[in-house]
Structure 1
Amino acid sequence: MTAADTAELEAHRLDRSGHDPGGRPRAVVFAETVDDVVDVLRTAHADGTPVVPRGAGTGLAGGAAATDGSVVLDLSRMNRIVELLPPDELAVVEPGVVTADLDRAAAAHGLRYAPDPASAAISTIGGNIATNAGGLRCAKYGVTRESVLGLDVVLADGRRIATGRRTVKGVTGYDLSGLFVGSEGTLGVIVGATLRLRPIPPRTATLAAFFPDVRAAAAASAAITAARLQPSVAELLDTACLDAIDAVRGTAFRSRGGAFLLVQTDGWGAAEEMAAVRAVVAPLAVDLDVTDDPAATEELLAVRRAALPALERRGRVLVEDVVVPRSRLADAVTAIAEIGRRTGVPIATMAHAGDGNLHPILVTTPGAPIGEPVQAAAGEVFETALRLGGTLTGEHGVGLLKRRWLAQELGEDVRALQRAIKAVLDPRSVLNPGKKL
């Protein structure tokens, strides 16, 4: 094995979570066609070799981490936008298409791909589908599932199937597309997707509001929902996030408050809806601005996307992903802050506040492993979400990192049913074994 081969194996061993299951993959296969995928899966199925599908490796739950002796099936070279059909507002793409590239291609026709995870500039459509990724605009437009019309999938034994359709409606048969979305590569390998596009809104308005603390910011977001308003974006950052962003970008957001809420409305009535949002938020905020300037808006969105990279410069991070009912958002951020204080584990919290999806970021020493104190604090975060009527993961997936808590949310009967579904589609358990279930 050459040094280059060894380096390639090492580069494909972990995903962005950094979680290390131990061992090393036996090979990396760069698929360039569907036939390549079929060949790999037929061979793996025949001899029982585990296969780990992988896109850009930006996952945060260990879902693309390579188990010992596995074959990593890298789909990043299958990166063609096969069709873009403006009259039908849809696109047909291969799994390795970068999310932001599809969005840009659609924009040339006055359209956009609505899901926009914070990793849109580097993550791939296949990975987004595998985890049912969300993003900033999901408060109004939904997560990836709402944009998937159909899928082309290679099953574990090499059979090719097509699910769904090109129409925006259809209930013929069971919803197999919905089954594969969010399945984290454990039921089949996605080799193509038919995706719904949406018109670029003719107008947008953006509010940046600052609050004394994160509970007040969360309460403001819940108040927007209670007022029956539907922003397209509602993003929250706590004090630790603002401090990290200021240190990296040279901004002074922290001087304006202890927490930040970014709200955007869109459509022909964006200004009117924003006026209603402002009326709800202003009494709770210590400072706020409203803009319809595209450049100023993009800068504010860039600030939100900068939060995780800024925190990563402070140490190794464990990026968590829980969801609570929107009315319990303030309770959740308060409880998470208390967990950090009590355990001594630094926790920064950002959130897709518009749908109750929190990302507590647990920060530890640079280069250090994620030790038991951090894992214990993360466990308390998960238990808090469940206690508040929420869920363990909204968009990052279960991967390897959250399997130990699944029984608390799902119960054994549901887990047994899910294992039975897995056995039907992958009887030899070669597809991403040890993940998701």
Structure 2
Amino acid sequence: MIAWRYLRAKKSEGGVSTMTWISVIGIALAVFALIATLAVRAGFRAEFVDTILGSNAHVTYYSVPYEDDLGNINRAITDYTEVSERLRAVDGVVRAAPLIRAQVIAAFNGRNAGVQVLGIEKDNLLDLPRINDPETGMGDIDRFDEGIAMGAGVARMLGVGVGDQVRLISPDGVKTPFGTSPRVSVYEVTYVFTAGRYDIDQTRVYMPFVEAQSYFNRDGVADEIEIITQDPEGLDRVMPGLWDAAGSQGQFLTWKQASGAFLRALEVEDNVMFVLLSVLVLIATMNIVSGLIMLVKNKGRDIGILRTIGLTEGSVLRVFFICGTSVGVIGTVIGVILGCLFAIYIDPIFALVNRISGGGVWDPSIRGIYYLPALLQVKDVVTAVALSLFLSCVITIFPARRAARMNPVEALRHE
């Protein structure tokens, strides 16, 4: 009761109402910033990983380099069917499919673009969730065997639509007595996909596996085998079985290794941001100290009277401890509400900011994905709440102890 009266007392009555509100607002904004940052951090990583796993192999198998009949160093997989079956039989593997991978030039109506062509069987293409998405894709993916599937970015650069005929030009074509002549073939664009990643949509084209073998002079061989697992985050449990199935002739590259530098950079950035925002919360809770010190100074006479009529040091300490922690709790609750609302409604908020700024706030060519994601996780909210309440409690102890140890004689000497 005493703590509540002190908190809502006006300045003319010896209270610190203004300082109390400043403390509440500061803590609320700090907690809001911490939760919003943690949500965006988690959302960005989840979206980035999802775009990787939704359109790429979880593990890629390569053949170790060997010398072919002509004395050239080769990495082509000649027994790809047998190897695929062995890899597919490993516990935890969902699919193992051979691929052809090559670089060509795509041309349409005078426009050219360098693209990466992946030769893949139709059934395996249908298993890629980011590619086979009816909501974002255009055309008929079931007609994939009749043409090619193209990324939306490539289609936009070339001005291509579904049904258009695109020329693919490969510099490694037919060998003649006068040298190697480029190979040029025309294919119908039967499907246009959006993988959610700018770099994939801007460069990738899928071609039927058999056609890719013929076009790139890979008859009877594959360049690699892509492996999809049940738990891409838990590859450590699957890799021993894959190594056993591959034997001494195989090598593997996991999605974590391929994107390891970026994921490590994200982790370092996450840790730095958490430390900086924790300092922001600490600075916000320091306002509680200022408010309580002023409150103790203004309430010196009251403390002396309370101690004279029998209130113990512990009781006085609890009065001012409740004052400080109440400010921390109220600010934390407000910050949690604001942070959760920001994470939930980030799309309309970001759209409004983008509209006010005239567009161009989020450049997918730099950040890789097309929008700012946010993933609200319980553990992030709990972390922010625990940090704020812990700092509020620790900071409050010092001015509360000062009030409890005040000598009642000295407090009432001049009254």
- TM normalised by structure 2 equals 0.21
TM-score by length of 1: 0.21
Rg larger in structure: 2
